[in-house]
A and B are shown apart, each in its own frame.
Chain A
Amino acid sequence: MIKVEKLTNYVKKINYQHLRKKIFGNVTTDGLVFKIFVYLLLIGISYVFVYPFIRMILLSFMSQKDVLDNEVYWIPSKFTLESLRRACEVLGLPRNFKEWFNFKKVFKSSLMNSIKISTLYGLIQTLVAALTGFAFARFKFKLKNFWFAMVIFSFIVPLPVVMVPRIMMFETIQMKVKVLGTIYPQLFLTLFGQGVNNAILILIFYNFFKMIPHSLDEAARIDGANSLQVFWHIFIRMSLSIIVTVFLFAFVWNWNESYMTSTFLRYKIPLLPMNLSIFDSTFSNLYGGSNSAEQIRINESYKMAGTLITMLPLIILYIFAQRQFIEGIERTGITGE
């Protein structure tokens, strides 16, 4: 009897309203149920996001036997580097540990080509975008709004529609000087501000420069600085962090660009993503192709290993610079205006 009384007392003591508020929430706070729901949803969606990447990574470490084994789906029974090695060979990279230390060879590989070219284009693109952004942020000139609209237009207009005259242009030059198959066509494009997603980079600079107070450059002008000096000593100095961000974006986009690269470079200079896109044909040239179902599955693991290798430099970059990337997009300032 005493025990039951105690229990009923205990039950009476519970503040039901409080409990209800904790579980289901009210107007001002979210309840536990809602929070759990949100977490489950987010975790579920992020699983869908990264699922292919996880699968890719694990597949590229699997041995041939594991790939064919239906019981092995996620965790390889033995980690091997065999697929990665093959993929390295197909992508034009050194395949042994020893060869990776042969710097002469590494320096000529597709990886280094990609890094060199993306860096070059990225730097030029950053500089041109900064100049353009500065012009829009600080000067009043005729047709300013029109040209600004044209910046947006150049983002929306699909590449194929401007590609035909560009090709004709460079083919005409090709008769006098060899430019196709070299880096020069794209170098010209980036030099004149028509690189990959250049409009976004301009917007990032434009919005950042607009935030810099006018009094700063006015003071410099009174001291006798000209526009170029103002640009260099005030704007560039003040926006080093944004320059890094823009450069990173330009680097990544140039790395990933395939449309212009394949038309102008024509596979003459091996690049990592280019080699990935012709992975199949290179592979069958090297090892001979057979079309049995087993072989196709094994080839898939090679392809995934190749994809992993192509992504790896970018993933490493992203790990170190994720904050810059995300802030960069926030700073385009296209929201809210």
Chain B
Amino acid sequence: MNNNKKKQIIKAIKSNLGGYLFLAPWLIGFLVFTGIPFLYTFYLSFTNVNQTALGWQIKWNNFENYNDIFFKNTQFLPSLLEFIIMQVLYVPVILVISFILAVLLNQDIKGRAILRTIFFLPVIILSGSVMQQFISSGAANFASINSIFIFHIVSNYSRFFAQIIEVLFVNFTIVLWFTGIPIILFINALQKIDHQLYEATQIDGASWWQILWKITIPMVKSTALVVTIYTIVNLGLYNIRPRQSNITAIYDLIKNALGVTSNGLGYASAYAVLYTIVVFILVGFALLVLRNRDKVKVVESLQERQQKKLAWIQKRNKKKLMKGVNKND
């Protein structure tokens, strides 16, 4: 018995040792280059950072950086707003389009492989600089809807919305390019759904619309969450804007701030912190919307509830009794 326990402990130690040994390169890298820097940036955003010949001069200056960003700087807030608009606008569109395409591709269709190859192509060849060239040369501009009647109606109501819709259509190709990986993930998820489920519902007389909403969508919900988070992260990496304006993209803004010599890094870290908070809020929102809500709720039966109540009353009575005994003493 004792020997057995010893063996178990030795095994656990070995497993821990082995695990951390293999994890070591990543772990060191994570701590040195990602984990600690992440926290350090939060600290830096409250400081004044200057590079001197001797090294880095870091001076605490309270909320000065944030104060400047919110009340003096005219560049950052518009860029951040632009970024949020882009995310809120593009992410649902990408999610829906990639889901529809995945459903269509999951059918018995000729040329599936070719279509899948085409849809995946942008994942391989798109980089920041390529995207920039496509946008600046206008080759990615797909359709201009300026001349469509409905667009004029919208435009009369709100110039802002009209701009957004217009750019969504003009940049439709670019939006589509982000669906490469989501489509593959969705197809994979769709193939994992048991066919018997579909057959059972078909026998019960469900239409394809009902099947879509009651079976397919709940089953791919976890994938949708992954896709959403991936898209949020991925969209941030490219220099695209939701409308035509000369507002600098937020990624560039932070990068430019890195080059400024007097307290550039302090501002840059404050920018980065705000940017990160926004990204995390977006991811959190995605988690909230797409989380699994179908956990089995424990519904107490009447009997159980009565028993609980009874136990509670008994406990209370006991206490009362004890108090009474104490008083009598």
Residue in contact with B26 in the complex, picked from A50, A128, A256, CB distance below 8 Å: A128
Tell me the total A-B contact number using a CB cutoff of 8 A. Answer: 274
Residue in contact with A59 in the complex, picked from B104, B122, B132, B139, CB distance below 8 Å: B139
Query: In whole angstroms, how far apart are the Cα atoms of A202 and B29 in the complex?
Result: 14
CB distance from A89 to the nearest CB of B (A): 17
Interface residues of A in 35-79 (CB under 8 A from B): 38-39, 41-42, 45-46, 48-53, 55-56, 59
Contact yes or no, B29 A192, CB < 8 A:
yes
Interface residues of B in 21-36 (CB under 8 A from A): 21-23, 25-30, 32-36
Residue in contact with A165 in the complex, picked from B29, B41, B279, CB distance below 8 Å: B41
Contact yes or no, B36 A165, CB < 8 A:
yes
> Which of B55, B129, B139 has its CB near the most chain A CB atoms (within 10 A)?
B129
* Tally of A interface residues using CB under 8 Å: 96
Residue in contact with B117 in the complex, picked from A28, A193, A322, CB distance below 8 Å: A322
Cβ-based interface call for B237 (8 A): yes
Contact yes or no, B129 A303, CB < 8 A:
no
Contact yes or no, A161 B41, CB < 8 A:
yes
Residues from chain B with a CB closer than 8 A to the CB of A255 are 127
Cβ-based interface call for A287 (8 A): no
Contact yes or no, B127 A273, CB < 8 A:
yes
Cβ-based interface call for A330 (8 A): yes
Contact yes or no, A325 B124, CB < 8 A:
yes
Contact yes or no, A322 B120, CB < 8 A:
yes
Contact yes or no, B33 A175, CB < 8 A:
no
Contact yes or no, A330 B27, CB < 8 A:
no
Give a binary string over A323-337; 1 marks a CB under 8 Å from any B CB, 0 the rest: 001100110101111
Residue in contact with B176 in the complex, picked from A45, A263, A303, A325, CB distance below 8 Å: A45
Contact yes or no, B16 A314, CB < 8 A:
no
Cβ-based interface call for A227 (8 A): yes
Contact yes or no, B37 A39, CB < 8 A:
no
Query: In whole angstroms, how far apart are the Cα atoms of A139 and B32 in the complex?
Result: 23
> Which of B19, B35, B36, B269 has its CB near the most chain A CB atoms (within 10 A)?
B19
Contact yes or no, B41 A162, CB < 8 A:
yes
Cβ-based interface call for A252 (8 A): yes
Given known A194-B33, A304-B139, contact A335–B226 (CB-CB < 8 A): yes
Contact yes or no, B18 A256, CB < 8 A:
no
Contact yes or no, A303 B136, CB < 8 A:
yes
Residues from chain A with a CB closer than 8 A to the CB of B265 are 164, 167-168
Residue in contact with B51 in the complex, picked from A48, A156, A171, A336, CB distance below 8 Å: A171
CB distance from A313 to the nearest CB of B (A): 10
B62-70, B71-79, B158-166, B184-192: which one contacts chain A?
A: B184-192
Given known A160-B254, A300-B138, A315-B125, contact A202–B26 (CB-CB < 8 A): yes
Given known A59-B139, A336-B189, contact A150–B35 (CB-CB < 8 A): yes
The residue of chain B having its C-beta at the shortest distance from the C-beta of A330 within the complex is B188
Contact yes or no, A50 B118, CB < 8 A:
yes
Residue in contact with A157 in the complex, picked from B38, B51, B121, B185, CB distance below 8 Å: B38
Cβ-based interface call for B20 (8 A): yes
Query: In whole angstroms, how far apart are the Cα atoms of A82 and B142 in the complex?
Result: 27
Query: In whole angstroms, how far apart are the Cα atoms of A154 and B29 in the complex?
Result: 11
Query: In whole angstroms, how far apart are the Cα atoms of A321 and B127 in the complex?
Result: 19
Cβ-based interface call for A158 (8 A): yes
Contact yes or no, B142 A48, CB < 8 A:
yes
Given known A42-B104, A55-B139, A158-B279, contact A307–B130 (CB-CB < 8 A): yes
Given known A49-B121, A139-B19, A162-B34, contact A336–B223 (CB-CB < 8 A): yes
Cβ-based interface call for A247 (8 A): no
Cβ-based interface call for A225 (8 A): no
Contact yes or no, A263 B258, CB < 8 A:
yes
Residues from chain B with a CB closer than 8 A to the CB of A332 are 185
The residue of chain B having its C-beta at the shortest distance from the C-beta of A152 within the complex is B229
Cβ-based interface call for B99 (8 A): no
**A-B pairs with beta carbons under 8 Å apart, 5 shown:** A55-B139, A144-B19, A161-B273, A274-B129, A335-B223
Given A164-B268, A192-B32; 11 other pairs, CB 8 A cutoff:
A135-B23, A157-B34, A161-B269, A161-B273, A165-B41, A256-B130, A273-B127, A300-B137, A307-B130, A336-B188, A337-B222
User: B-side interface residues toward A, CB under 8 Å?
Assistant: 12, 15-16, 18-23, 25-30, 32-38, 40-41, 44, 49, 51, 55-56, 101, 104-105, 107, 109, 115-130, 132-134, 136-140, 142, 172-173, 176-177, 181, 184-186, 188-189, 192, 202, 207-208, 222-223, 226, 229, 233, 236-237, 251, 254-255, 258, 265, 268-269, 271-273, 275-276, 279-280, 283
